């Protein structure tokens, strides 16, 4: 099956710093990738849709200047949390479309901001 | 924003019993999917049902879809301790976005 990886799997950073999370489709090309955030004991909330070679589309309420998304190639999308604060601590999950009916999720990245 | 609403929010049953979870959604969909997530872990895709399908089976899983009522159900038969997890329904619209419901926390009692 198709594999999507995320790096790092967990990260701890200090308040005010920026953190970059990578999402890679390992054995297929993905023109579209999605980023989700999940707070403890809650569901996944779609943050943005990332399209290769174009600007990301953000969901309502998601600050695009705080969560920078770059989809540089057909196998890589990055999410940068800028000037992170403790309230940004969360589980961040990406997914990648192999076809419109096949979307594969990464294992997630746990971010803790101290 | 979230599309689906799962019912119940939490469910505890004895091992061996069947577990039923329901999901309702609001807008038109291309397909509906069910996922499992163990605590603090990634998602596991369970089953996908297309909008023109009414029922689908996979092992001990049975999923139904009623597009007229905008609802779906997931039945897990002969539950096992390893089925303890959170279960999410997720709808996919024409824009290919997957929108998750709030989830049901299932606990299988030994």
Give the tens place of pLDDT for each residue, A82-95.
Answer: 999 999 999 999 99
Q: DSSP letter at A59?
A: P
Which residue in chain B is spatially nearest to A91 when comparing CA positions? B40
Binary contact (B40, A110; C-beta < 8 A): yes
Is residue A84 within 8 A of residue A11, CB to CB? The reply is no
The pLDDT of A69-78, averaged and rounded, is: 92
Residues of chain B predicted below pLDDT 70: 1-4
The model's pLDDT over A4-17, given as tens digits with 9 standing for 90+, comes to: 999 999 999 999 99
Query: What per-residue confidence (pLDDT) applies to A16?
Result: 97
Mutation pick from A10, A44, A62, A104 vs chain B, by most beta carbons of B within 10 Å, is A44
Which residue in chain A is spatially nearest to B4 when comparing CA positions? A43
Binary contact (B100, A95; C-beta < 8 A): no
Which residue in chain A is spatially nearest to B99 when comparing CA positions? A46
Q: How far is B61 from chain A (nearest CA, A)?
A: 20
**CA-atom Rg of chain A in angstroms:** 13
DSSP helix/strand/coil, B81: helix
Query: What per-residue confidence (pLDDT) applies to A98?
Result: 84
Query: What per-residue confidence (pLDDT) applies to B98?
Result: 87
The pLDDT of A35-56, averaged and rounded, is: 91
Query: What per-residue confidence (pLDDT) applies to A69?
Result: 95
Q: How far is A17 from chain B (nearest CA, A)?
A: 24
Burial class (CB in 10 A: 0-12, 13-18, 19+), A43: buried
Query: What per-residue confidence (pLDDT) applies to B3?
Result: 60
Binary contact (A93, B42; C-beta < 8 A): yes
DSSP helix/strand/coil, A108: coil
Query: What per-residue confidence (pLDDT) applies to A60?
Result: 94
Nearest CB to A43 within list B31, B40, B101: B101
Q: How far is B10 from chain A (nearest CA, A)?
A: 11
Nearest CB to A43 within list B30, B45, B88: B88
Query: What per-residue confidence (pLDDT) applies to B1?
Result: 46
**Using alpha carbons only, what angle is made at residue A58 by residues A57 and A60, rounded to the nearest 5 degrees?**
135
Structure tokens at B39: 């605590």
Query: What per-residue confidence (pLDDT) applies to B39?
Result: 85
Question: CA B49 to CA A33: how far, in whole Å?
Answer: 21
Nearest CB to B97 within list A49, A91, A105: A49
């Amino acid at each position: 099956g198709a594999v999507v990886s995320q790096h790092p799997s967990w990260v701890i950073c200090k308040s005010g710093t920026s953190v970059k999370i990578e999402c890679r489709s390992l054995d297929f090309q993905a023109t579209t990738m999605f980023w989700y955030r999940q707070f403890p004991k809650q569901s996944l909330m779609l943050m943005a849709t990332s399209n290769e070679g174009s600007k990301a589309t953000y969901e309502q309420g998601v600050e695009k200047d705080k969560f920078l998304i770059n989809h540089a190639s057909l196998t890589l999308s990055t999410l940068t949390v800028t000037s992170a604060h403790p309230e940004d601590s969360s589980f961040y999950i990406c997914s990648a479309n192999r076809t419109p009916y096949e979307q594969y999720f990464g294992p997630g990245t746990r971010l803790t901001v101290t | 924003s979230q599309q689906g609403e799962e019912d119940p929010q939490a469910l505890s049953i004895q091992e061996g019993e069947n577990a039923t979870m329901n999901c309702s959604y609001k807008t038109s969909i291309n397909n509906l999917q069910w996922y499992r997530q163990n605590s603090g872990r990634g998602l596991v895709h369970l089953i996908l049902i297309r909008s023109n399908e009414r029922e689908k089976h996979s092992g001990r899983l049975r999923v139904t879809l009623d597009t007229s009522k905008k609802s779906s159900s997931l039945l897990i038969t002969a539950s096992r301790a390893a089925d303890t997890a959170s279960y999410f329904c997720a709808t996919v619209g024409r824009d290919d976005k997957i929108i998750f419901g709030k989830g049901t926390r299932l606990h299988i009692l030994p």
